[in-house]
Amino acid sequence: MSITKAVPLPEGELAKKEERIPEPCIVVIFGASGDLTKRKLLPALYHLEQSGLLPKDFTVVGVARRDLSTTFAPDMQDGIIKGGGVEENDPKLKPFMDRVQYFATEFDDDNGYEKLKAYLADLDTKFNTKGNRLFYLAVAPEFFADIIQRLGNHGMAKPEEGAAHWIRVIIEKPFGTDLASARKLNDEVNAVLSEDQIFRIDHYLGKETVQNILVFRFGNGIFEPVWNRNYIDHVEITAAESIGIEGRGPFYEKAGAVRDVLQNHVMEVLSFVAMEPPDSFQAEAVRTEKLKVWQAIEGIPIENAVRGQYGPGTVDGKPAIGYRREERVSAESNTETFAAVRLEIENWRWAGVPFYLRAGKRLEQRVTEVTIVFKQPPLHLFKSNRSDDKIEPNVITMRIQPDEGISLRFGAKVPGPTTNVRQVDMHFSYAAAFGKSSANGYERLLLDAMLGDATLFAHRDGVEATWALFTPILEAWAAKVATGFPNYAAGSKGPDCADELLAKDGRAWRKL
């Protein structure tokens, strides 16, 4: 059953876009020869240009250490065409590429910062960018504090006294590796920049489907009245990947599923699912309500956290090696490639409702979704048509990726002379309703940062609150080598201990 149909974008929506064009500016990407810039950032900027959302006076400067002055722009163009699905002869491509520059320096070369400062000032004259800067730190996390410190030392981190221009900095994830390191990094960054200059990015928040959780809840009248402990039995959030670590052994060995996905992406999604309605859709109001959710979690007892690591198996019909056989991974690695937790949010809305979160690699399917499982009706008047006679609950599933959309599962009478009930799905699909799949999250977030809108970026307090929840688990796991790793086969639904976590409560995960 489907309730979607293609609807063209109404005229009014196009007009509204114009209000969102940022002021002239230079986007300066540190680490621009890296994978993120070519695959995501330049395609995202180009899509903004195609949609008419970039200012007319605009330029991009890539910064990295190698001398790429002649190859950088063609390489980025290649990324825009291949990664961004853009036609080679797209009429806006050449004029856009003419505004893509490259500047080579080592991140710790003070002389390089002085030269970069002068270079950016020249670009201001050439492109009329008025001194506005968006620095994007697409670099390994060990460089975050040092680059910001040096921008400060060279007078590039604050607008000149009395001047009207702005300077903002986007910081990539991971923001710290535990509570202590996140606090230290926050202190170092806040010593140079004010909080309203800092944009800690989590690209999940740029996803249409994540933002739509708030629209679904607060832009409609019918869901919010049942969005609480009186009607909801439990909530599941799943971030499952079928891919492995894709050659990023050294990175993943230090990260693992909690640091890579659970502490940041999944906790952001959780806050959108569970927060109270904010006073407005402004940064401060939204961040305050998100923070209250995380602070209402009293802690995650270690017995409510389980971990897994994939062994060899079959993914998409092809054999897959186990994690410990991946390139540059220890043969005795203790790193979790799967993690699941059970937690409770102790406030009036959610007291007693368990939230089950899981994230993992090399699972049988790639799917990120939120599942809201409702309580059963007080009395069963009708029979199930299942062999075990079980009446299934109503379920709302918000699919974040892929096949973005929302489903509502409810019981319907099976046609025939009996009154048996079977569950059916009513489905909304983004692709069917709006005619295109949702944009890469970086588009929205780059645009928001250029506009100075931090609503969809992490605040210092939020980062520390989520690390405070996961740090004790990470410490306990680091102190005790996991027994039984690997404990799930590549291409499976994950380890048995994750099923047991729900079975203790008489529940089961939604099938992947």
Ligand X SMILES: NC(=O)c1ccc[n+]([C@@H]2O[C@H](COP(=O)([O-])OP(=O)(O)OC[C@H]3O[C@@H](n4cnc5c(N)ncnc54)[C@H](OP(=O)(O)O)[C@@H]3O)[C@@H](O)[C@H]2O)c1
Task: Enumerate the active-site residues.
Answer: 265
Pairing of strands 383-384, 420-429: parallel
CB of 499 to ligand X, least distance (A): 30
Pairing of strands 198-200, 354-360: unpaired
CB of 253 to ligand X, least distance (A): 14
Nearer CB in complex with ligand X: 397/401:
401
Q: What is the dihedral of CA 497, 502, 505, 510, to 10 degrees?
A: -160
- Candidate list 66, 82, 94, 254; residue touching ligand X; CB under 6 A: 66
Q: Which two tokens stand for residue 407?
A: 């489903």
- Candidate list 25, 28, 60, 64; residue touching ligand X; CB under 6 A: 64
Query: What is the number of the residue whose Cβ is closest to ligand X?
Result: 34
Subset of residues 403 to 462 that bind ligand X, contact rule: CB under 6 A:
none
d(CA 200, CA 455): 11
Residue 206 makes contact with ligand X by CB under 6 A:
no
229 half-sphere exposure, CB direction, 13 A CA radius: 11
Nearer CB in complex with ligand X: 204/477:
204
Choose the binding region for ligand X from 5-13, 132-140, 160-168, 383-391 (rule: CB under 6 A).
Answer: 132-140
CA-CA distances (angstroms) from residue 429 to 235, 362, 405, 434, 439? 21, 26, 4, 8, 14
- Candidate list 50, 81, 115, 141; residue touching ligand X; CB under 6 A: 141
Nearer CB in complex with ligand X: 3/140:
140
Pairing of strands 420-429, 488-489: unpaired
- Candidate list 65, 165, 375, 510; residue touching ligand X; CB under 6 A: 65
Subset of residues 171 to 190 that bind ligand X, contact rule: CB under 6 A:
172-173
Nearer CB in complex with ligand X: 274/458:
458
Subset of residues 10 to 39 that bind ligand X, contact rule: CB under 6 A:
31-37
d(CA 246, CA 259): 17
- Candidate list 76, 120, 123, 139; residue touching ligand X; CB under 6 A: 139
For 40, residues 6+ apart whose C-beta sits below 8 A from its C-beta are 83, 203, 440, 442
Nearer CB in complex with ligand X: 41/306:
41
CB of 152 to ligand X, least distance (A): 18
Nearer CB in complex with ligand X: 11/142:
142
Choose the binding region for ligand X from 135-143, 371-379, 393-401, 496-504 (rule: CB under 6 A).
Answer: 135-143
3-state secondary structure of 292: helix
Eight-state DSSP code of residue 275: P
- Provide the sign of the torsion angle of the four alpha carbons 390, 365, 238, 444, taken in this order: negative
294 half-sphere exposure, CB direction, 13 A CA radius: 27
Tell me which residues touch ligand X (CB under 6 A).
31-37, 64-66, 106-107, 138-141, 172-173
